[in-house]
Amino acid sequence: MLTHPVDASIRVRYAETDQMGIAYYGNYLAWFEVGRVEWCKAQGFNYRDMETDDGAFLVVAEARCRYRAPARFDDLLTIRTALKHARRSVLIFEYRVLNQETGQLLATGETVHVVTGVDLRKRSLPEKYLRLFGLEKG
């Protein structure tokens, strides 16, 4: 259902569990970030370089997660990430978290990002990234 998704793998750490015996809900946002970083690599660039070399930051403006089934310690998860929507200064990613062993869908989510400079002010994506986010050069 996701368009051109990219998969990353995560193994649930003990640190990520809580006393309910399941992964704490806040960790999913960090896992989404792992998914985004992997999505960038699959497009041929490192998000790290986008910050360092090009001074462009993807600041999170909104995040959402629906938790369908718990993830547990030592579970191997797939973080499936896709670009849902792109404009020159706004990007929306969507995610699915799956148990890699059973295939069960554990969570779905979405993050909205604003492109900014190091000063956190809105700017456009650097030219060289436009094509990588499916935006024509202009």
Pick the catalytic residue: 18, 49, 53, 74?
A: 18
Q: Is 18 a catalytic residue?
A: yes
To which residue do tokens 């024509």 refer? 136
**Distance between CA 132 and CA 28 in Å, rounded?**
25
- Taking a C-beta distance cutoff of 8 angstroms, is the pair 61, 89 a contact? no
Between residue 117 and residue 136, which ones bind its own copies under the rule CB under 8 A? 120
> Which C-beta is closer to its own copies: that of 69 or that of 126?
69
Length of the chain: 138
3-state helix, strand, coil in the chain (%, to 5): 25, 40, 40
Site for its own copies (CB under 8 A): how many residues? 38
Which stretch in 60-68, 86-94, 98-106, 126-134 sits in contact with its own copies by CB under 8 A? 60-68
> Which C-beta is closer to its own copies: that of 42 or that of 135?
42
**What is the x/- site pattern for its own copies, positions 20-59, by CB under 8 A?**
xxx-xxxxxxx--xx--x--------xxx--x-----x-x
Residues 6+ apart with CB under 8 A from 131: 137
